[in-house]
A and B are shown apart, each in its own frame.
Chain A
Amino acid sequence: MDSGTREMLAHELYEAYRTKVPLDRLSDRHPGMVVEDSYEIQLIQIRRRLAEGRTIVGHKVGLTSAAMQRQLGVDQPDYGHITDDMVHLEHLPIPVDAYIQPKVEPEIAFVLKRELRGPGVTVHQAIAAIDFVLPAIEIIDSRIKDWRIGLLDTIADNASSGGIVLGSTPVGVGEVDLRLSGCVLHVNGEVAATGAGGAVLGSPLTSLVWLANTVGALGVTLEPGHVILPGSQTGAVAVSAGDAVTARFGGIGSVTARFTGDRVATTVGAA
């Protein structure tokens, strides 16, 4: 795929955020598209947002569950960027119409105190680089019609990211077994999904190591203070205006996201 086509698709995706009109599947329209094209299309959009004053606060890893990998026919995760304007505060209203077709996923977020520069990062180095973990809800969204995504589409679309809601109960990474810690996702008081940390590539730590080494091969470093969302512990659950979503994690605490129909900017992280 030539650079002009990459620029064009990046622009289409960028516009879809604004218009809320989702696109047809990119990979169907461009059969020659490869993974490198998709990551470059993602980066063009990120560079444009940085030029507009946004900052990168971390990364997310997607396609980390056996079910999702089976569904998309892949055996690797993918990643996207988290910018400051994507961060919401718990319990404060999140306007659902800021998104196209939002879903939520419960995750244990890592906050780094040291940089992680791959390739060659090992699990013990990753553990040593973690400041604390936080309960988190990721809001995923797709700029592709009806979530009909393939691997190439979701990577180009910033790994289908939308926003993140972080809880406020930091826990040391050594204080909990991240694999066997249970997770329950409540939507409006009902159990909507359950899972365990190990649903994320066997351990959320594996996801962090994968991310550090994958972006490291491209010359990107995970920075101190960055937040990493390693992947969902359950299947994603669609949300609409009026929904209250609580993710509980054994030994880590809980975080609540509240979705409203009001078009009110409440992203405190945004400048």
Chain B
Amino acid sequence: MAITDIDSCATELLACEEERRDRGPITEEWSGLDQASAYAVQDEVLRRKVAAGQRVIGVKLGLTSRAKQQRMNVHAPLTGWLTDAMVLQAGVPVPQDQLIHPRAEPEIVFVLGADLVGPGVTAATAMAAVDMVYAGVEIIDSRYRDFRFTLPDVIADNASSAKFILGGVGRRPEELDLMMEACLLEVNGAIVDSATGGAVQGHPAEALALAANDLASRGLRLEAGWIVLTGGMTDAVFTTPGTNVGAHFTSLGSIAVRG
């Protein structure tokens, strides 16, 4: 099927997700896919998922680390939608039969206690809206072959969203120094990477403020009760069957993920 507009692009990406089919970058086929139309695709896919019974429960940020931004040659993160179908319960293995080539990345997660309305949101005002802070592991997946995409491609693909797991330890934001909150990432018992919240836009609150302001530019807001995944602290690791991923945080507990 030729991709010629927002509607056909949404149809193709939804089909890829449902059929576990990867593909080449859409920007190589449809020159009309730019940042604005990519967010329109994202919103159209969400509209269809909501029509099918899913609920919006928050947003995620992507490309919040400088390393990833440099690799993608972009200077700002992107946002994507979270729905209730993306929640993975603790202890449940990664649903390989629903995903193409899942990877895991550790994140700082906020649950909002108040609406957060941009523009003009700062890190300080953003943190004032945070009710609780959790550790999270996001299972990302891309509908693009080998995770090869341009910025509009990945925006249209809802920022490579798939599933996420929340840690069991929730803390009030004033109890934590999120710049120093560290995560040690292990794969099958071997330490493979580590980082702190400082890797996320300098501080995860900066990422939250960016999300609020980014949504505001599209006439949207972050709502009380929503979950915000602030972006991978480390590079993502593959969660092939048999792989055990552990994410150990300074003050937010540990999360185990079974591939």
Q: Is the interface of A mostly helix, strand, loop or mixed?
A: mixed
Tell me whether A181 and B199 are in contact (CB under 8 A): no
Q: Which A residues are in CB contact (< 8 Å) with B29? A: none
Within 8 Å by CB of B193, from A182, A199, A248, lies A199
Chain A contacts for B184, CB-based, 8 A: 179-180, 196, 198-199
Q: Is A184 in contact with chain B by the CB < 8 A criterion?
A: yes
Q: Mark B157-201, 1 if CB is under 8 A from A, else 0.
A: 000000000000000000001011111100000111111111100
**Residue in contact with B194 in the complex, picked from A190, A191, A196, CB distance below 8 Å:** A196
Shortest distance in angstroms between B181's beta carbon and chain A's nearest beta carbon?
6
Give the B interface residue count (CB, 8 A). 23
Mask: chain A, 186-215; 1 = CB below 8 Å from B; 0 = not: 000011001111110110000000000000
Chain A neighbourhood of B250, CB < 8 A: 177, 180-182, 196, 250
Binary B-proximity of A242-268 (CB < 8 A = 1, otherwise 0)? 000000111000000000000000000
> Nearest Cβ distance between residue A27 and chain B, in whole angstroms?
27
- What band does the interface of chain A fall in when counting residues whose beta carbon is under 8 Å from B? 20 to 34
A194 touches which of B190, B191, B192, B196 (Cβ 8 Å): B196
> Is the pair A191, B202 in contact by a Cβ cutoff of 8 Å?
yes
Interface-central residue, A67, A197, A248, A250, by most chain B CB under 10 Å: A250
Q: A250-B182, A250-B250 are in contact. Are A202 and B191 (CB under 8 A)?
A: yes
Give the docked Cα–Cα distance between A248 and B197 (Å): 13
Chain A residues contacting B192 (CB-CB under 8 Å) are 66
Assess the B248–A182 pair: CB atoms within 8 A: no
| A 167-188 to B, binary, CB cutoff 8 A, 1 in contact else 0 | 0000000000101111110000
Considering only residues 192-237 of chain B, those with a C-beta below 8 Å from chain A are 192-199, 202, 233
Assess whether A101 is interfacial by the CB under 8 Å rule: no
Which B residues are in CB contact (< 8 Å) with A183?
182, 196
Q: Could you tell me if A180 and B182 are in contact, using CB atoms closer than 8 angstroms?
A: yes
A250 and B181 alpha carbons, distance in the complex (Å)? 8
Bound-complex Cα distance A250 to B183 (A):
12
- A197 CA to B196 CA, complexed, in Å: 11
Tell me if B144 counts as interface (CB < 8 A to partner A): no
A158 at the interface (CB under 8 A from B): no
Q: Is B191 a contact of A250 with CB atoms below 8 Å?
A: no
CA distance A7 to B222 in the complex (A): 68
Q: Is the CB of B191 within 8 A of A199?
A: yes
A83 within 8 A of B: no
Question: Are B180 and A195 within 8 A (Cβ)?
Answer: no
Knowing A179-B184, A250-B180 are in contact, say whether A184-B198 is a contact too (CB < 8 A): yes
- Which one of B179, B198, B202, B249 has the greatest number of beta carbons of chain A within 10 Å? B198
A196 and B190 contact, CB distance less than 8 A: no
Interchain CB contact under 8 A, A182 and B191: no
Residue numbers in A under 8 Å from B180 (CB-CB): 182, 184, 248-250
Residues of chain B contacted by A45 (CB below 8 angstroms): none
What CA separation (Å) do A197 and B199 show in the bound complex? Answer: 15
Q: Is A160 interfacial (CB-CB < 8 Å)?
A: no
Q: How far is the CA of A194 from the CA of B180 in the complex (A)?
A: 9
Distance (Å) between the CB of B249 and the closest chain A CB?
A: 7
- In angstroms, how far is the closest chain B Cβ from the Cβ of A206? 10
B248→A180 contact, CB < 8 A: yes
By a CB distance below 8 angstroms, the chain A residues around B182 are: 180-183, 194-197, 250
Residues on B with C-beta less than 8 A from A197 are 182
Is the C-beta of A233 less than 8 angstroms from some C-beta in chain B? yes
Q: A180 with B202: in contact, given A196-B196, A199-B191 (CB under 8 Å)?
A: no
Cα–Cα distance between A67 and B46 once the two chains are bound (Å): 38
Taken together as a complex, chains A and B put the C-alpha atoms of A179 and B198 apart, in Å, by: 17
Distance between Cα atoms of A199 and B193 in the complex (Å): 6
A196 to B249, CA, bound (A): 9
Which residues of B line the A interface, CB within 8 A?
66, 177, 179-184, 190-199, 202, 233, 248-250
A182-B179, A198-B194 given; name 6 further pairs at CB < 8 Å.
A66-B193, A181-B250, A184-B196, A184-B198, A196-B183, A201-B191
15 examples of A-B residue contacts, CB within 8 angstroms: A66-B190, A67-B193, A177-B250, A179-B248, A180-B250, A181-B182, A181-B250, A184-B196, A191-B199, A194-B194, A196-B195, A196-B250, A250-B177, A250-B182, A250-B250
